[in-house]
Amino acid sequence: MPSRLGRYAVRRRIGSGAFATVWLAYDEQLDSPVAIKVLAENWTEDQQVRQRFLEEGRFLRKVESPYVVSVYDAGELEDGRPYLVMSYADQGTLADRLGVEGLSTAQALEVVRQVGAGLQALHERGVLHRDVKPANVLFRADGDTVRAMVADLGLGKALDVSSRLTMIAGTPSFVAPEQAQGEPLDPRSDLYSLAALTYLLLCGTAPYAHASLSAAAAPGPPPPLVATRLPAEVEAVVHRGLAPDREDRWPDVATYVDALAAALGPEATAVRSGPWLPPDPQLTQPGARPTALPSEDPLPPLGRPRRSRARYAAAAVGLLVLAAAGLAVGYVVSDRDPDELTVDDETGTLSVTVPHDWADTVADGWRPPNQPTEVPAIAVGTSEDWQRDEDGEGVFVSLLTETDLPDQVPQHPECARVDEPITDADSETVFYRDCPAGVIVERVVQLTTNRLLWVQVRSDDTATANRVLDDVEAHGFG
């Protein structure tokens, strides 16, 4: 985690995607949290991607609307990567909300109204969004209620450009047919996406489950609003918004939203008497910089191999055991290295089983930068400098004296892709892919109320990384 981005103090990572990472930072001059979107390092030299990133900032800067994410500042890091400083959405995304609970009909209408206001503001400034979906609707606390904002104009285009040439892109389940076909676009393309979002909010599922843009190019008639008790007028309004031929749709977003409110009748005003969506304190909130796992030189210095407990799993023994159990054994030798080595730390607290050729160098014991005493740890690798060698493979396992899971695991900008974190109440696992060494995995597990287990694996392939992760053990914790 960088300590600063430009003049802004970084607190933690909010999220990352294929093209950028977003950080929660703090504007010390204005005493305010901000979100900073930084272009991914692997796209720095791609001028088309870079230009699209900068255009997002210019498009957002054109619009003055409480329902569109604001851009306050822009800059460039020392390595040449541009960044955008934007308003911080402290209440997460619509996708977050829908992943936990649904919305009432009145709340759904209010989301559509506010998102519609944001889209209308963009259109009036000559900008198309082109990627309206739940993940691009952000929520921000506004007093005792929440405000919805349109965000992520990474696919946005000026209308004068979109009328002549349009890149085929978008999210298949929400994209307008003409956009999937690569035709010139106008505001009715965003209207279609808003109608698809409306359908999702009212029915709990998207109107279409397109697997590709080619399928979205010919969607067929809009499906009925299933599992709802809404007036027939509501379905008629949404269906007109989803008309495959844009000439059959509503003329603009504002007209669509007004028609939807009229069709809903009393439901349209049910949330106006008070906070339509109270802030959720459990969602993302700004806070002090966390005591995150160290991200610079995190591994202990590796010394000469020491004597360790070893188990060599001979292929013949494995085959005999499986045969005796009556199990199929034809794949065993090729699927897993027959020779493995299990290594303990000197205290017997930690152990890990690795391929035999990983154990060129073994070290144990480590004192983390933010802790006064040494903790149990094991580092096993293919060389003394495996964690920095492009061809290096190995695993690092350590205990940490912490009471909570960190807000983020160590980052690996040298990797081209990062998977969505795998999380539950007691652990988080992140796979980084297309790295110089193949794949890097970071895992943090809450063992007890005051002990964390941290595992880092670097491997040529995911299968080996998964096997090593499964063979990490912590002893003496019940």
What mean pLDDT, rounded, does the chain reach?
76
Q: Which of 8, 10, 3, 13 is nearest to 407 (CA)?
A: 13
CB atoms within 10 A of CB 464: 19
Q: How far apart are CA 461 and CA 465, in angstroms?
A: 7
pLDDT value for 241: 96
Q: Is 133 annotated as a binding residue?
A: no
Q: Which of 290, 283, 347 is nearest to 139 (CA)?
A: 283
Q: How far apart are CA 264 and CA 260, in angstroms?
A: 6
CB atoms within 10 A of CB 296: 7
Q: Superfamily assignment of 4-86 in CATH?
A: Phosphorylase Kinase; domain 1 (3.30.200.20)
Query: Is 230 a residue whose pLDDT tops 90?
Result: no
* Sequence ranges of the domains in the chain: 4-86, 94-269, 340-474
Domain 94-269 coded CATH 1.10.510.10: yes
Quick one: tokens of 308? 């360790």
Q: What is this structure's pTM?
A: 0.58
Quick one: tokens of 55? 């255009």
Active site residues: 131
Cβ burial, residue 304 (10 Å; 0-12/13-18/19+): exposed
Helix, strand, coil percentages (3-state) for the chain, rounded to 5, are 30, 25, 45
Exposure string (b/e) for 175-187, b if CB count within 10 Å is 16 or more?
bbbbbbeebebbb
- Per-residue pLDDT, averaged over 194-222, amounts to 87
CB 337 within 8 A of CB 311: no
DSSP three-state, residue 420: coil
pLDDT tens-place string over residues 426-444: 788 988 887 777 888 999 8
Asked whether this chain's domains 4-86 and 340-474 adopt the same fold, the reply is no
Beta pairing partners, 138: 93, 149
CB atoms within 10 A of CB 268: 18
DSSP three-state, residue 98: helix
pLDDT value for 34: 92
Q: What pLDDT band is residue 215 in, cutting at 50, 70 and 90?
A: confident
Q: Which of 120-124, 154-158, 343-347, 414-418 reaches the highest mean pLDDT?
A: 120-124
- CB-based contacts of 148: which residues, under 8 Å, 6+ apart? 67, 94, 110, 111, 114, 115, 118, 137, 138, 139
Q: Which CATH entry fits the domain spanning 340-474: 3.30.1330, 3.40.1000, 2.40.160, 1.10.3430?
A: 3.40.1000
